[in-house]
Copies of this chain bind each other. A is one copy, B any other.
Amino acid sequence: MKEMLLANSIAVIGASDKKGKIGNILIENLKSDNRKRKIIPINPRHKIIGGLKVFASVLEVDFKIDLAILAIPAEYVLSVVEDCIEKKIKNIVIISAGFSESGKEGKQKETELIKLAQENNLNILGPNCLGFINVSENINASFAKKEINKGGVSLISQSGAFVTGLLDVAKDGQTGFAKIITLGNKAVLDEVDFLNYLEKDTKTKVIGLYLESIKRGRKFYNTLARVSLKKPVLILKAGNSEKVQKAIQSHTGSMAGENSVFKKVVQEAGGIYFENLSSYWNSLKILDSYKKIKNKKLVILTNAGGPGVISTDLIEQSRNINLYDFNQREKRQLQKKLPSAVSLENPIDILGDADVERYQDTLKNLTKNKNIGGILVLITPQAQTDVEGILELIKHVSAKAEIPIFPILIGSYRDGVFQFPCEIIKALNLINSEKGSRKGIKKEPPKFNVLAPAKVRVLAERAKLEKRRVFSYSEALELTNYYSINSLNAVTVDEKFKFSSQTGKLILKVDDPKILHKVAQGGVKTGIASQAELTKKMKELRRKFKKEKIIAQEQIEKGFEVIIGLKRDSVFGPVLLCGVGGILTEIIDEKILWILPIKKEDILKDLKNSKLGKIFEKEDLKLEELVEEVFKVGNIGWQNNWIQEFDINPMFFYKNKKSIAVDVKVKF
């Protein structure tokens, strides 16, 4: 990666002398570096481009080339890559579009490209990308034509246009960049490779990712978990809705996993998840340009009541930041140099006629207070307000202060100054959200139930012989038994089955994987309390279900219903989930997710913070028992990662007896 981002000799295949053409912008951008790197335009029909000697092919160049940038039609890319291989060029940036994002033929080309890369150990960025910009080292190997400030933000973006957009915002002169990488189709190099690189890049202070899909789920998870321990990683991901999934497919040719899973992955791995562009940008800006807040207790200093109270409301509504409470001594101290009408509750309102001196006296006092985490200074331009003077003062005080001072000039747009309080408050709240408890890479869990996976496999193979990908209830029961999950027993019955008054009431169920909605299809008969009823209900079932297996279960007392399940995410693999069952499922609308593997203490912690956990507490049910059962299901998923779906719905929990799984479904 280093060799690519620090290349000393760079060939541009498809170089052009026509202004505005990508092949020309690339040459101009590369030339803008004042250090003398070798730039080699490649074009069979030219002799000189931009004052540089042109070669007809990389094979004609008689010195080493570190990096080749391809800006030629897709149809020529593969043969040029072969030239690069012959010339021993290991690093290639493919700007050209027309690969997996554009239909079957393109996909084929991309597959061949990947094959070439693997066989020859090539670092390929793209195709269908904008290139990269190593801002810290003055290498602009992209066709983004911008002057870019140096700074601590590094961007890894799947979309090129997303980057050009952000570079425009950054023109405010305050925020600067270290590395900017556009990934395009990610045929070879992806976000994981560059996260690895940026982790150690000393110029990178904060990492911003924009993603539309993930290629290597587990790898991404583990890498993010490691990198986010060292630097904040901010992630904006498109693809929360179905429509967007469609749009992304036509845009990059790849599918994203389910979004709730991705969000959970980011949180667990300690990244910061964003859903909109402006909060994302403001957060990058804050992390690059301001000191870190010392603690979560902020002070608002204002010269106007209205904006002050609006900001207070916003902070009070934020989960992760709050307002500093001044004690009486501090208030007396603040009061000394201020008019008596000033309000010293936080927000500190130093009134509409506040001049630079009044702001200065107050800021001086506040920055000395070791207990304050940061200061938001609201400036509402009123008749007597010296806006420039106050902004100048803030710059001056900020330079010496240990805590950040955020200037907000209400409503006015000014470079490097916030325009509305909600911008910065939202960003501060997100930046300071509690990081996943499971920071760092997950260790493999100890092996147990060593023999179970083989036994489960046997069940699946048997089902496959019958062309089934679903377990019957009896098979599912066997599976839960291997993992010590207490499940409601069932016996296969026929017309000769006799009622026994010792067992209490019975349920009859049709048990056939093809009957998916047993109740709705009339395949369940409950409350059978005598031989006569048994005979009658059995007949009724047989009228509808001629040959299907019928099972009998004891009709047990209803407990509190919980759903415990597993789903295989297309990107991140087995995901464990748990939620309230029964009629409350949709109303409480809470799905607690875990990326596997998982420790019992983490399950307990998350359940305690959940609505489900609160219901357990109020209903006097044992949460530890739920943790135990969820953990068992987690093991099923982790040890049998070919299972697509596993659902206990419901599992009954009781105050004074053991919980029991009432229905279990398995798909693979």
Contacts and interface: CB of A to CB of B under 8 A. Distances in A.
A241 B316 CA distance: 6
Contact of A316 (B164, B240, B341): B240
A345 B247 contact: yes
B165 A251 contact: no
B244 A168 contact: no
A247 B347 contact: yes
Contacts of A421: 277
A251 B313 CA distance: 15
A145 B422 contact: no
Interface string A160-171: 111011111111
Interface stretch (A222-230, A300-308, A364-372): A300-308
A309 B352 contact: no
Output the residue of A97, A144, A317, A413 with the most chain B CB within 10 A. A413
A381 B239 contact: no
A381 B168 contact: yes
9 contacts: A97-B341, A170-B411, A210-B306, A241-B313, A247-B345, A251-B305, A276-B314, A277-B307, A278-B420
B162 A313 contact: no
Given A241-B312, A413-B413, A304 B165 contact: yes
A243 B312 contact: yes
A243 B161 contact: no
A584 B169 contact: no
B244 A159 contact: no
Contacts of A352: 160-161
Given A160-B352, A247-B349, 13 more contacts: A25-B383, A161-B303, A161-B410, A165-B380, A165-B410, A168-B411, A169-B412, A238-B312, A244-B312, A247-B305, A250-B343, A252-B305, A583-B619
Interface stretch (A186-194, A550-558, A610-618): A610-618
Interface residues of A, number: 89
B587 A276 contact: no
A243 B345 CA distance: 8
Contacts of A238: 306, 309-310, 312-313
Nearest to A613: B587
A165 B307 contact: yes
A446 interface: no
9 closest A-B pairs by CB: A161-B304, A159-B306, A241-B316, A169-B411, A162-B306, A165-B410, A251-B305, A238-B309, A583-B618
Contacts of A382: 144, 160-161, 164
A376 to B, nearest CB: 14
Interface in A408-435: 409-413, 419-423
A346 interface: yes
Nearest to A158: B306
A205 to B, nearest CB: 20
Contacts of A614: 586-587
Contacts of A277: 307, 310, 410, 420-422
